[in-house]
Amino acid sequence: MSTLLALTVAGLVTGCIYALTASGLVLTYTTSGIFNFAHGAIGMIAAFFYWQLIEWGVPTLPAFLLAVLVLSPLMGVVVERIMIRRLGNASLEVTLTVTVGLLLLLIAIANTVWDPLTARRVQPFFGSHQVTVGGVILSYHQLVVIAAAVVVPLALWAFLRQARTGVALRAVVDDRELAALTGASPSTVGMIGWAMGAALAGLAGVLLVSQVELNAITLTLLVINGYAAAVMGRLSNLPLTIAGGLLLGVLQSLAIGYVTISWLNQVQTSIPMVFLFVALLIAPPTRLRVGQLAPLLAPRVPSARRSLQSALVFLAIAALVTAILPAGQVASVTHGVAIAIILLSLVPMVGYGSMVSLCQLTFAGIGCVAMAKTGGSVLGLVVAVLAPAAVGLLIALPTMRLRGLYLSLATLAFGYAMDDNFFSNSSVMTQTLGLPVPRPLGIDGPRPYLLFVTAAFTVCALGVLALRRSTFGRRLVALGDSPAGCATIGMGIRSTKLGIFALSAGLAGLGGALMGGQEGVVGYTDFPLLLSLTLLLMAVVWGVRTISGVLLAALFFELIPHLNGQLGPVGNSVLSLLVGLGAVGLGKNQNGIVGTLLQKTSGLTKLPSLPHPRRAADQGDQPVREEVLTGAQS
């Protein structure tokens, strides 16, 4: 009994931290409409900064205040000014990409400034002082956490309801333009929202830092757990979000205490992601929004004849390059082309269907493992496609009614859980030796294998283009453009959605298998979720709607380690971020770098640029949400 109580209390304390970070996430999401993937990373930076200040001999309180009330809001303001403001009405994949880029950049900065190999520890507040309440030992630190989790949301609530700026924060969410017409400045208000959200992330980070090992990725992912709580509050309701955070903390704590199933070795750490998945499933369905006509220029789809010609030219060039490539480069290029196949799987899903999958590398990993287990025969290749496709179907079924951001978060939860429970499972691959992967069809020699992978890429690319020209492709684009429009013309979205998930996952699986064949041995760290995010970033930046875009993205990705040698460890993410910012900034062309080039040579379908009308049209029938943020009234 006392164990249960102790575990519950410990869980509540963790839950308080989740609740705090999730409130910050909700605040930025509601005020800017952008889901901040880098929320956790901001908390992480604040935590490191706090450690640094303590290390320099700054007393606890000033260090705490500097980290939470100065540095964190400053980060929020800078991010809002530099990145978020430019996004305007950008599509989901662009906004996700930009914040994912920020996440990777912040992790890279932390790893550069604070050597990740050094162990760091921070003393909890008030050292080891503790009190016993009702038989449960509570440290002063835990009391501080609980106090913060009580005071901060109350203060936030009061601010949002009573202060005019707080009212304006909610008003800007409701109708940005009208807010401006009343005299409130939406940009200032947005900045305040981001500053407050970042401060909450920082607060969570600093409260966490003495409880866990100070590691950039661990801390970032811990704060990401707050996503689950935020989704429970449907990204808009603060009281529900806080309840979600507490519940999550308790569940996780109880799981650590009571679940001792050996084959689910990591189940405790994936509780938040399971929670996120369930929260997504039980959340009431999102209403179909009447599609708004975004003035997006889609790249023109090449005809069958044209794409076949390009494919032949490409193959000829590839053969030539394969012949003259220095021996030392073959492996790297082969790896790059295999990555290109994985990125190709994003084209129909993200590029055509506007469904942003965050776990494409997970599917690739499943394909790779499937082939490794069945051998490199034709059968092995078939299994490498079918196994992830089946898993894709399994993901698509429960998430059928999720759209947009929620769908992306579901794929994130899946990828995260697979990281912890599948790839690191000893029955899948031994952690020390990894998993040997055969080369498919017994193709030997590096150059023939490169040719084989290139041919596979070409065939798949032709297939994707043919798919785009088919009825299924048109359905896919229609689904991405306006689900409501699809419904009104009686087009079922079910088969389209199931189809695209299976197809995209299968394609990624093939890419993963070919990549594994190149590596020879894969380890459990070869398919991490963060790399999925990096790949998505690359694809979107270079142009996820075009074949050439993803090919360039893959080759650039392959080039990074080489550039890395010259730029130092931070080069990696700085490069990707620069490319990301550049692409977003470049006239806000949502088709990425390749799209921008295409536009210059007018390879895009022309659409007149439209005024961006105030959402007046859909306000008439827009359902009234529950009171944003405060959750009061009905």
Partner 1 sequence: MTAPTLTGALELRRVNAGYGKVAVLHDVDLVVPDGGILALLGPNGAGKSTLLRVASGRTQPTSGTVVLRGQDVTGRSPERLARTGLCSVPEGRAVFPNLSVTDNLRMWTYRPGLSRKDVEERAFARFPRLKDRRRQLAGRLSGGEQQMLAMSRALTANPDVLLLDEISMGLAPVVAAELFSLVRQIADSGTPVLLVEQFARTALEIADTVAVMSQGRIRVTGSPDEVRDRVLETYLHADTAHARQDPAPS
What does the binding site for partner 1 look like in residue numbers (CB under 8 A)?
164, 167-168, 170-171, 173-175, 177-186, 295, 608-611, 614, 616-617, 619-620, 622, 624-625, 627-628, 633
User: CB 622 → partner 1: shortest distance, Å?
Assistant: 7
Instruction: Strands of 480-542 (E only): list them.
Output: 521-522
Q: Which amino acid is at 406?
A: Y
User: For residues 39 and 170, which CB has a smaller minimum distance to partner 1 in the complex?
Assistant: 170
User: For residues 135 and 295, which CB has a smaller minimum distance to partner 1 in the complex?
Assistant: 295
User: CB 51 → partner 1: shortest distance, Å?
Assistant: 41
Please, is 378 exposed, middle or buried when counting C-beta atoms within 10 Å of its C-beta (0-12, 13-18, 19+)?
A: exposed
User: CB 178 → partner 1: shortest distance, Å?
Assistant: 6
User: CB 176 → partner 1: shortest distance, Å?
Assistant: 10
User: CB 626 → partner 1: shortest distance, Å?
Assistant: 8
User: CB 301 → partner 1: shortest distance, Å?
Assistant: 24
Tokens 């550049």 belong to 582
Q: Contact at 8 Å (CB) between 26 and 156?
A: no
User: CB 93 → partner 1: shortest distance, Å?
Assistant: 23
Please state, as a whole number, how many other Cβ atoms lie within 10 Å of the Cβ of residue 630: 17
User: For residues 81 and 120, which CB has a smaller minimum distance to partner 1 in the complex?
Assistant: 81
Tokens 């380690």 belong to 561
User: CB 607 → partner 1: shortest distance, Å?
Assistant: 10
User: For residues 157 and 277, which CB has a smaller minimum distance to partner 1 in the complex?
Assistant: 157
SS (H, E, C) 597-610: HHHHCCCECCCCCC
User: CB 588 → partner 1: shortest distance, Å?
Assistant: 13
* 557: nearest Cα among 574, 580, 534, 529: 534
End-to-end CA distance of the chain: 40
CA 316 from chain center: how many Å? 37
* 526: nearest Cα among 347, 338, 346, 392: 338
User: For residues 326 and 620, which CB has a smaller minimum distance to partner 1 in the complex?
Assistant: 620
User: For residues 209 and 628, which CB has a smaller minimum distance to partner 1 in the complex?
Assistant: 628
User: CB 28 → partner 1: shortest distance, Å?
Assistant: 18
d(CA 235, CA 237): 6
* 97: nearest Cα among 405, 348, 398: 405
Contacts of 75 (CB under 8 A, 6+ apart): 42, 45, 46, 198, 202
d(CA 385, CA 368): 9
User: For residues 182 and 601, which CB has a smaller minimum distance to partner 1 in the complex?
Assistant: 182
Beta bridge partners of 137: 132
Q: What are the CA-CA distances from residue 390 to residues 273, 326, 366, 416 (Å)?
A: 21, 39, 10, 18
User: For residues 470 and 619, which CB has a smaller minimum distance to partner 1 in the complex?
Assistant: 619
d(CA 321, CA 429): 35
